[in-house]
Structure 1
Amino acid sequence: MRVTVDVKGEDTHEIDLETVSASGTAADGETVPTYRDLLREVDLSPHEVSVLVDGRPVPEDQPVESEHVTVLRLIKGG
């Protein structure tokens, strides 16, 4: 599955989940990519952003189940 990661006010990234190093575990024991893994792919820390799916925040350790993710920066240097 391909996932669009839209970092608001910055870039949009297309990520193929097949190429992501997965850290989560599905109910059947299979290793699956999490939202934390997506953040790592775009060089962001879960400590500085919120991940939204359909406008609602999702935990970064949850397996990726959406094809479109919005990322909001909570901290911006300056």
Structure 2
Amino acid sequence: MDVTVEVVGETTHQVSIDNGATYADLLAAINYSPQEVSVLVGGSPVPEDQSVGAETVRVVRLIKGG
């Protein structure tokens, strides 16, 4: 499955994942930890252990250096 991952305010990634992959797997593919971001599908947060079921997701960083 191909998924478009938009990291809000930063970049967009095209990621190919296996069926049954979780949102944590998706984050690992773009080098983010579930502890530093929230994954949104249709504007609502999804649990990191849920299987990916959307072709487009948004990732919002919770921690930003400064």
Within the alignment, does 1:59 sit opposite 2:47 as a pair? yes
Encode CA deviations 1:48-74: one digit per residue, 9 max, x unaligned.
100000000000000000000000000
SS at match of 1:40: helix
**Runs of 4+ that moved beyond 4 A:** none
CA distance in 1, matches of 2:54, 2:62: 22
Identical-residue share of aligned pairs (%):
59
Question: Higher Cα Rg: structure 1 or 2?
Answer: 1
Within the alignment, does 1:3 sit opposite 2:9 as a pair? no
Could you say which structure has the greater relative contact order, defined with CA pairs below 8 angstroms and 6 or more residues apart?
Answer: 2
**TM-score scaled by length of structure 1:** 0.81
State which of 8, 12, 35 in structure 2 corresponds to 1:47.
35
Give the aligned length.
66
CA distance in 2, matches of 1:42, 1:14: 9
SS at match of 2:28: helix
